[in-house]
Chain A
Amino acid sequence: MAALQRELYGGGVGKEGRLAGDSEWDDVSPIVVVEPEKALAAITYTQDYAEAMSYLRAVMQAKEYSPRCLRLTEHIIGMNPAHYTVWLYRAANVFALKLPILDEMAWLNRIALGNLKNYQIWHHRHLLVENYFPSIASDPAAVSAFAASEREFLAKMLAEDTKNYHVWSYRSYLVGKLGLFSDPDELRAIDAMITEDVRNNSAWSHRFFLVFSDPSASTPGTPATAADPAVPEAVVDRELAYAREKIALAPQNQSGWNYLRGVLVKGGRKLASVEDFAAGFVTGLVEGAEDEDVRSTHALDLLAEIYAEKGDRGRADLSLRRLGQKWDRIRVGYWEWRRKCLEVGA
C-alpha cells in the first residue's frame, strides 16, 4: 500500500523533470503541435512544459489510464494549475483506476492550499464528491465523518482568505449534498467566523442559507426574497436577535443590516417592528436643524422606509434628503430617486 501511495502521489516524473531521457516513457511517441508560422495568437512554450504537454496529448489520445499518467498530470498541474484539460484527464484516471477517493482528496488539499484563486481545484473536488457520496449516503456515521474532515479542510482554506468565493460556494454545495442544514457544527463554525469578523459577508450569506433553506424548517422552493410561513417563529426571533447583536458591534456594516432585512421578509414581519432599534443609531433628526448624529446610514435608510410605511412622508423625505446631502453623498442619485417615489406613492 505504501509503495502504491508513493507511486501515485509521490510526485516526480521523468529524470530531473525531463521525460525524453526516462525509460518509463520510451514507448510513448510525444505529439508535438506545430503552429503555422504566422498564426495569430500562436503558442510558444517553455521547454519542459512543451515536452510534458506533448506526452499528455499522446496518452490522452491513446486513452491510457495508469499511475504514470496520474503522475504526469501532477507534473503539469505543478507548472500550470489553470489548465483545465489536464484536470479532467486526472479525474478520468482516478475513476478508471478506481483509486480511493479520500487519497485523491488528501492530495488535492495540498494543491488547493497553494492555489487559492484557481477554479479547477473546486471542479475536481466536486467531481470527487459526486463520485464518493453515493458510496456513503446510507451510512450516517460515514457522512458525518466526511463532513467533519471537509470542514477541517475548509477552515484551513478560509484561514488563508476568509472571503474566498470558490470556498464558500463549494461549502453551500456541500451543505446541500450532505444535508448539513441542521448540523450544529456547521452553524457553530459560521458563528465563529462572524464573531471573528462581523464584516464577513460570505459568512452572513452562508448563515442565511443554512437557516432558511433547511428543508426540515422551510418550504422547499421558496425564493430567498419571499416570506415563508414554514419557518418557525422562534427561528425568526433568534435570527433577528442575532442580527441586532452583531449590528450593535459595527453599526455601519452592510452585512448585518442586509441580514436583518432578509430575516424580516422571511418571517413576514413589518419593518416597523425594528423601528426602535434603528432609531437608536440616529439622534437629533429635526427639520431645518441639520445637526443630527447618524451612527449608521443603513439605520437612517431603514427609518426612511418605516416612516413612509407609516405614512409620515415629511420625516421619510427628511431622512432621504439628509442621506443624499450629508451622510452618503456618493449615492445622491439613489436617494433622490427614493424621494421621488414618496411623491408618486402619496
Chain B
Amino acid sequence: MSQTFDQLPEELQLATSAHVKYIQSLDTRKDEYDYWLTEHLRLNGLYWGLTALHLLGRPDALPRAETIDFVLSCQHDSGGFGAAPGHDAHLLSTVSAVQILATVDAFDDLETRGKGKARVGEYIANLQNRETGTFAGDEWGEEDTRFLYGALNALSLLGLLDLVDVDKAVSHVAACANFDGGYGVSPGAESHAGQIFTCVAALTIAGRQDLIDKERLGRWLSERQIAGGGLNGRPEKKEDVCYSWWVLSSLEMIGKTHWIDRDQLVGFILRCQDPERGGIADRPGDMVDVWHTVFGLTGLSLLKYPGLQPVDEVYCMPKSTTARVLGR
C-alpha cells in the first residue's frame, strides 16, 4: 500500500511540519473572537491538538509540565473537570482530561497534585442513571450515547470500570440499534456515523461485540463512501473529513476496513489539508480547524499512511498510550 502513496503527486503528501506549527499556534490566538467562543471546548481542544501531535510523531511539541498544570487547574473538588478554569465540571471535559493525562503519562500527578483517580471515577460513576444505564453529561441530566461511551472510555483507562453498571449501559446501547444496522443518539433516533462510533466503541470496551450485527452495520458503513473517496455520516449527505474517523474506526473495530477504498479516502483527506499554513478542513478549500485536523490524521493513521503513529480505534488515542495504560 505504501507504494501507492509514494506515487502520489507532491500536493498529496502530508504536510507534517505545517500541521505541527498550526497546532502549536492555536494557543497563541487569544485575541481572536473565536478563541473565547470556544472556551467551553478548551480541554477538548487540548486533547485534539495533543493527540494530533502524538500521531505526527511530535509528542514534545506542547510543553508537558504546562499541559499537566492546565489540566489539573480545571479540576473540581467533586473530581470532575471543567472545560477551563472556573467552568462547571462536565463529563466530556473530564474524559478529555483523563485522556490527556494518560497520553502524557501523568496519572501520578493526578494522585499527588490533583484529586486522585478514585475521585474522578466516583464523579463519573455518579452520572450514571442506575435505572436505565445511561450517563448524563452533568448534574442536569442531559443524556446521550456520547456520554455513555466517554464514561466507559475514561473509567477503563483509570482501571475503574467496576464502579458502574456495565450491563445496564450495554442494554441501553443495544436499544439504540436501528433497522438499517446502525445506531442513533437514543432509541428511535436515526443512524448516524458519529453515534455508531460511540455505540460500537462502548460495546467493544464492555466486551459485548456479540450484540453487533456486523454484516448489516458494515454494509451501511461502507455505503458511506461516495464518489471522490470521502465518507459521509448519513445517506444522501455530503462527505466530511471527520467521518474518516467515525466511519473508519467503526469499520476497524468490526474488522471490515477493507470494505472501502483506502487509496481514494487517503486522497480525499489529503486534498482537505492546507499544505502551507497547516491544518485540515472538512472539505477541500474550506477553513481548517483543530477538530477536523485530528480526525483527518486519525483517519490517515488507520489507513496506515506512512510516517504516522498508529491510533487506537476504540479510544482515539495513540496505540502506544493505550498499550501502556491498559497493559495490552
Size of the chain B interface, CB-CB below 8 angstroms: 67
0/1 interface trace, chain A 24-57, chain B, CB 8 Å (1 if under): 0000000001011011111111100100000001
0/1 interface trace, chain B 194-235, chain A, CB 8 Å (1 if under): 000000000000000000010010111011011101000011
Cβ contact of B30, chosen from A44, A80, A82, cutoff 8 A: A44
Report the nearest B residue to A45, measured CB to CB: B36
Instruction: Tell me whether A333 and B260 are in contact (CB under 8 A).
Output: yes
Instruction: Tell me whether B261 and A40 are in contact (CB under 8 A).
Output: no
Segment at the interface with B among A7-15, A106-114, A140-148, A201-209: A201-209
Contacts of B227 in A (CB 8 A): 330
A209 to B260 Cα, complex, angstroms: 29
Interface assignment of B188: CB less than 8 Å from any CB of chain A: yes
Cβ contact of B31, chosen from A44, A57, A254, A330, cutoff 8 A: A44
Question: How far is the CB of B235 from the nearest CB of chain A, in Å?
Answer: 4
Contacts of A279 in B (CB 8 A): none
Report the nearest A residue to B70, measured CB to CB: A40
Instruction: Tell me whether B186 and A262 are in contact (CB under 8 A).
Output: no
Instruction: Tell me whether A46 and B36 are in contact (CB under 8 A).
Output: yes
0/1 interface trace, chain B 174-190, chain A, CB 8 Å (1 if under): 11011111001111111
Query: Considering the complex, which residues of chain A in the window 122-138 have a beta carbon less than 8 Å from any beta carbon of chain B?
Result: 123, 126-127
Interface assignment of A176: CB less than 8 Å from any CB of chain B: yes
Instruction: Tell me whether B140 and A213 are in contact (CB under 8 A).
Output: no
The secondary-structure label for the interface of chain A is helix
Cβ contact of A333, chosen from B84, B188, B259, cutoff 8 A: B259
A200 to B236 Cα, complex, angstroms: 7
A91 to B38 Cα, complex, angstroms: 22
Instruction: Tell me whether B86 and A33 are in contact (CB under 8 A).
Output: yes
Contacts of B73 in A (CB 8 A): 36, 39
Contacts of B85 in A (CB 8 A): 33, 35, 39, 43
A332 to B179 Cα, complex, angstroms: 24
Interface assignment of A168: CB less than 8 Å from any CB of chain B: yes
Size of the chain A interface, CB-CB below 8 angstroms: 60
Question: How far is the CB of A118 from the nearest CB of chain B, in Å?
Answer: 12
Interface assignment of B63: CB less than 8 Å from any CB of chain A: yes
0/1 interface trace, chain A 299-312, chain B, CB 8 Å (1 if under): 00000000000000
Knowing A168-B189, A172-B188, A337-B258, the reply to whether A41 touches B45 (Cβ < 8 A) is yes
Instruction: Tell me whether A82 and B45 are in contact (CB under 8 A).
Output: no
Interface assignment of A163: CB less than 8 Å from any CB of chain B: yes
Interface assignment of B1: CB less than 8 Å from any CB of chain A: no
Interface assignment of A84: CB less than 8 Å from any CB of chain B: yes
Cβ contact of A330, chosen from B219, B237, B261, cutoff 8 A: B261
Contacts of A259 in B (CB 8 A): 179
Instruction: Tell me whether A46 and B225 are in contact (CB under 8 A).
Output: no
A275 to B267 Cα, complex, angstroms: 38
Instruction: Tell me whether A169 and B189 are in contact (CB under 8 A).
Output: yes
A212 to B187 Cα, complex, angstroms: 12
Report the nearest B residue to A332, measured CB to CB: B261
Instruction: Tell me whether A225 and B181 are in contact (CB under 8 A).
Output: yes
Contacts of B141 in A (CB 8 A): 127
Interface assignment of B165: CB less than 8 Å from any CB of chain A: no
Interface assignment of A334: CB less than 8 Å from any CB of chain B: yes
A123 to B147 Cα, complex, angstroms: 14
Cβ contact of B37, chosen from A57, A82, A261, cutoff 8 A: A82
Instruction: Tell me whether A205 and B190 are in contact (CB under 8 A).
Output: yes
Instruction: Tell me whether A49 and B36 are in contact (CB under 8 A).
Output: yes
- Chain B residues within 8 Å of A, Cβ to Cβ: 27, 30-31, 33, 35-40, 42, 45-46, 62-63, 66-67, 69-70, 73, 84-88, 90, 138, 140-142, 174-175, 177-181, 184-192, 213, 216, 218-220, 222-223, 225-227, 229, 234-237, 256, 258-261, 264
Counting from the closest, the 9 A-B pairs by CB-CB distance are: A262-B179, A205-B190, A172-B188, A44-B30, A334-B259, A169-B189, A40-B70, A209-B188, A201-B235
21 examples of A-B residue contacts, CB within 8 angstroms = A33-B86, A40-B70, A41-B45, A88-B88, A123-B142, A163-B236, A165-B185, A169-B189, A172-B184, A172-B187, A205-B178, A205-B191, A223-B175, A258-B180, A266-B179, A331-B223, A331-B225, A333-B222, A333-B259, A333-B260, A334-B219
